[in-house]
Amino acid sequence: MLPFMGMERRTCTRLDIKHPQGEVRSPVPVRDHFPHLHPLRGAGIGARLDLGIVSDDHSASGYHPSGAETSAVPWISPFASSILFTMSDDRHRGRIFQHRGDLKRAQFWYEQAVKADREKGDAQMLSDSLGNLGNVCAMMGDYEQAERCYREVLELQRGQQDWGAIGQTLVNLGNLHAEAGRPERARPFYLEARDILEPLQDHRALGILYSNLGLQDQAAGRYDDAIAQFKKALESHRVVGDEDGLAVTYSQLGKTFLQANQNSQAEKCLNNASEHFIKLGNEPGEAATLRLLADVYEQTGNRLSALRCLERVVQVDTSYGLPQLQQDREWMVRLREGGVGRVHDH
């Protein structure tokens, strides 16, 4: 699922915290929330990554420790618990329950905050509350309600001409359609967001946006375009020092090179991703990357290296109770016996 960014209004510098979920991508419960991202007063941005990375930070917003190799869309939140917020008690309660993973209660309190902000006539606070409510609805899979929230947020932001927040809300709208299996409806939102965010040089948001576009190109088999988008994402992640973004994007880029039969480039990217995940202490993310790297080594005839990768993967699978344990163990046994590994499903 896609991790969404929080909307609380902040009184200090912006921080973004993320959670890697899925395989090596957007993603996991949201880290204070991490889905990967920005400044905000608008709807947050989330990155779509399908590498099966999971964060060991099981807070409510985003990545989940399933380790499943599915196309999950990660979302990122830019707020840390140490940040001071000017927010209603209702919104504060909603945020607490969201980070605990109690999305139903978070939804209830955000709905109360929206009601109170409407009565007060405070457009900024209403935008924040609606954005938070949209994030929670999206995380719960209620895409229609989330879209209604985001569209109202967008209308309020356009009235305020808050272009950075508008760009982020457009990305969230694109994520909703992508997560709902409507990529053709997601792309126009992504492209409009790009036209807004590039002149602003909002690299934190752009890193996620380029990754989202790369994932769409990857899914459509447009590997050259996907590679170009992921490289742009890496540049933006480096500008803001986004280690999570670098880890996930290197993994996605490596997976794309693997799909395009460019094994040498895939190996370099996946080794980079593994190093970043180790640095972050994200073992499920490391395992997801090593699974791909084992594929690279198997395809190039380096069975010993493939086995070393799988031994580590099985160790992490066992520690975290990941669902791929049986499949990975069987793959490892077959390689040890000199047989064919797993059926490649990239």
The answer to whether 127 touches 150, Cβ cutoff 8 Å, is: no
Position 146, amino acid = A
What is the rounded distance in angstroms from the CA atom of residue 79 to the CA atom of residue 34? 8
Task: List the beta bridge partners of residue 17.
Answer: 77
Boundaries of every domain in the chain: 89-336
* Cα 173 → chain centroid: 14
Is 3:34 a contact under the CB 8 Å cutoff?
yes
Q: What amino acid is encoded at 132 in this protein?
A: N
Question: Could you give the count of Cα atoms lying within 13 Å of 30 in the half-sphere of its Cβ?
Answer: 40
C-alpha to C-alpha distance for 56 and 41, rounded to whole angstroms: 27
Which residue blocks in the chain are alpha helix, DSSP H?
89-100, 103-120, 123-139, 143-160, 163-179, 183-200, 203-219, 223-240, 243-259, 263-280, 283-299, 303-320, 325-336
Distances in Å between the alpha carbon of 138 and those of 11, 180, 250, 277, 311?
A: 26, 10, 26, 27, 36
Q: Which fold has domain 89-336?
A: 1.25.40
d(CA 287, CA 281): 11
Residue 72: predicted pLDDT:
41
State the pLDDT at residue 295.
97
Q: What is the pLDDT of residue 43?
A: 38
Compute the distance between CA of residue 247 and CA of residue 269 in angstroms, rounded to an integer: 9
Q: What phi, psi does 85 have (nearest 5°)?
A: -120, 150
pTM: 0.75
**Side-chain half-sphere CA neighbours of 49 within 13 A:** 49
Low-confidence ranges of the chain (pLDDT < 50): 2-3, 5-6, 8-86, 343-344
Q: Which residues of 303-322 are buried (b: 16+ CB within 10 A; e: fewer)?
A: eebbbebbebbbebbeebeb
